[in-house]
């Protein structure tokens, strides 16, 4: 996970793209903890920054697509 964040930061500096697929693992961790008999473990999944990066990434992607469309017009 830390390597993914490091690659993301480096990609921003060098204007390249790094896949966000490793962040999807946070969803599986959350589902696993929700399905476990010990429900408070689901709160631990909320501490994983990857679970918060998914909606942030989607919003940023939509905003950049809108910006590209406006630049074309």
Residue-wise pLDDT tens digits, 29-65 = 778 888 888 888 878 777 777 777 778 878 888 888 8
- The two structure tokens encoding residue 49: 């920054």
pLDDT of residue 20: 58
- The two structure tokens encoding residue 53: 């990066």
Q: How far is CA 71 from CA 57, 63, 64, in A?
A: 21, 12, 10
- The two structure tokens encoding residue 42: 């689901």
pLDDT of residue 29: 76
State the first-to-last Cα distance of the chain, in angstroms, to the nearest integer: 39
pLDDT of residue 19: 67
- The two structure tokens encoding residue 55: 């909606």
- Would the pTM of this model clear 0.75, i.e. be above it? no
**pLDDT higher than threshold 70 for residue 17:** yes
- The two structure tokens encoding residue 35: 């399905």
For residues 10-31, average pLDDT? 73
């Amino acid at each position: 996970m830390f390597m993914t964040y490091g690659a993301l930061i480096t990609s921003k500096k060098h204007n390249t793209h790094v896949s966000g697929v490793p962040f999807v693992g946070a969803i599986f961790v959350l589902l696993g903890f929700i399905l476990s008999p010990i429900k408070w473990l689901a709160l631990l999944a909320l501490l994983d920054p990857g679970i918060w990066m998914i909606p942030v990434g989607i919003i940023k992607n939509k905003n950049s697509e809108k910006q590209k469309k406006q630049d074309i017009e």
